[in-house]
Amino acid sequence: MWLLKQDVSPWLAKSGYVVVVKPLRVLAIILVAMLIRWLLHRAISRLASSTSRASMPALLRPLKERNDVTAEEALFIPERRRQRAEAIGSVLRSFVSAVVFTMATLLILGEFGFNLGPLLASAGIVGVALGFGAQSLVKDLIAGLFMLLEDQYGVGDTVDLGEATGVVESVGLRITTVRDARGVLWYIRNGEIVRVGNKSQGWAMVVIDIPIGFVSSEEAIAVLRIAAESVATEPEHQTEFLEPPEVIGVEQLTVDGAVIRTIAKTTADSQVVIQRDLRRALTESLETSGLSERIAASRLLPRSAVPPAWLGGGENSSPSPADPQRPGGAT
């Protein structure tokens, strides 16, 4: 407008608008988009970095916050929160960048005179087509995002995902990799994970059942209780027991005698070691106390010294048909 008011030709005025004004407006759109992107990225980074502190923002808290956190587990929570916050922050920053630059591109195309109506309609049709064709991909991404928000599992956790059970090696928005006990690396799509059994979160319970035959259950319980307490007082295991082990008594009765159950609440990482050492100590206590021989002897079926006559145990082994002791005999 300023050039039109001056004493110049209309062609020169329009050329000046195209050459000077439009590039400046395009540059302004780009600068504003970059500023908005920088501000949003900074806010996301500050929000993610604050998760390692004691007061975690509500946005990044797991949707189901766990309150039964032990002292040992609390030492690893900041690092676990940091890793999860970095993953969530990376996803949010990528999403913000895509949205901001898409809007900036549309505004720049509008400045050059492009009709955005057909373009937006075409983009909507393409988006619907991609949505129908990539349903599994969208399902995997959404499941991976909620998995991160809920903190279901992380790298290093021992998990049971159904067919695959092992240690998590990497976690992504679409794929989770698990290496099982045989060394096989499983690639599992997040959208196909129906249930997750995490063996590394919180505490674990050790349950050991020991058959004692038909010996005195009170005597066996006393021996097993002393052995369990000795394991709990060992220096290398004192910090691994969250509660003292307990011999709860007779769990069941079988044809071979009674079964005594011993339980112990331990940390998740030390469950296997505690179970192995506790089972060894309980077995050795039965041997040193002499109960093992008595247990083995009590399992032998008692034999009758003199079987009944109708079973062929005496001289007159063939009872008469009228013998009342014979099964089915006359009465």
pLDDT recorded at residue 12: 52
Residue 278 within any structural domain of the chain: yes
259 and 283 co-located in one domain: yes
52 and 163 co-located in one domain: no
pLDDT recorded at residue 304: 44
Q: Quick one: pLDDT band at residue 270, thresholds 50, 70, 90?
A: confident
173 and 256 co-located in one domain: no
SS3 of 206, please? strand
11 and 128 co-located in one domain: yes
Residue 309 within any structural domain of the chain: no
Residue 283 within any structural domain of the chain: yes
- Total Cβ atoms within 10 A of residue 152: 20
- Asked whether residue 47 carries a pLDDT value surpassing 70, the answer given is yes
Q: Best-predicted range by mean pLDDT among 65-79, 130-144, 315-329?
A: 130-144
173 and 188 co-located in one domain: yes
212 and 194 co-located in one domain: no
**Whether 82 contacts 52, CB under 8 Å:** yes
Predicted model pTM:
0.53
pLDDT recorded at residue 169: 85
Which whole number is the average pLDDT over 42-70? 57
- Mean residue pLDDT across the chain: 75
Residue 143 within any structural domain of the chain: no
Run of H or E including 96:
helix 77-111
- Asked whether residue 1 carries a pLDDT value surpassing 60, the answer given is no
**Whether 168 contacts 156, CB under 8 Å:** yes
Q: Look at the chain and report how many structural domains it folds into.
A: 3
155 and 239 co-located in one domain: no
pLDDT recorded at residue 14: 59
What CATH number does residue 187 fall under?
Answer: 2.30.30.60
**Whether 187 contacts 172, CB under 8 Å:** no
Q: Quick one: pLDDT band at residue 149, thresholds 50, 70, 90?
A: confident
53: left (phi over 0), alpha (psi -120 to 50) or beta: beta
Distances (CA, A) of 191 to 62, 160, 171, 188: 19, 15, 13, 9
Q: Is the dihedral of CA 291, 296, 301, 305 positive or negative?
A: negative
**Whether 277 contacts 206, CB under 8 Å:** no
* Long-range contact set of residues 26-31: C-beta below 8 Å, sequence gap at least 24: 26/108, 26/111, 29/104, 29/107, 29/108, 29/111, 30/104, 30/108
CA-to-CA distance for 145 and 198, rounded, in angstroms? 18
pLDDT tens-digit map of 72-85 = 444 445 556 666 67
- Asked whether residue 71 carries a pLDDT value surpassing 70, the answer given is no
Token reading at 31 = 């600068």
* Residue that finishes a domain, picked among 183, 198, 213: 198
Residue 209 within any structural domain of the chain: yes
What CATH number does residue 282 fall under?
Answer: 3.30.70.100
Q: Give the domain extent around 90.
A: 2-133
Q: Quick one: pLDDT band at residue 58, thresholds 50, 70, 90?
A: very low
106 and 181 co-located in one domain: no
102 and 183 co-located in one domain: no
Residue 305 within any structural domain of the chain: no
81 and 183 co-located in one domain: no
CA-to-CA distance for 220 and 282, rounded, in angstroms? 10
Residue 329 within any structural domain of the chain: no
6 and 89 co-located in one domain: yes
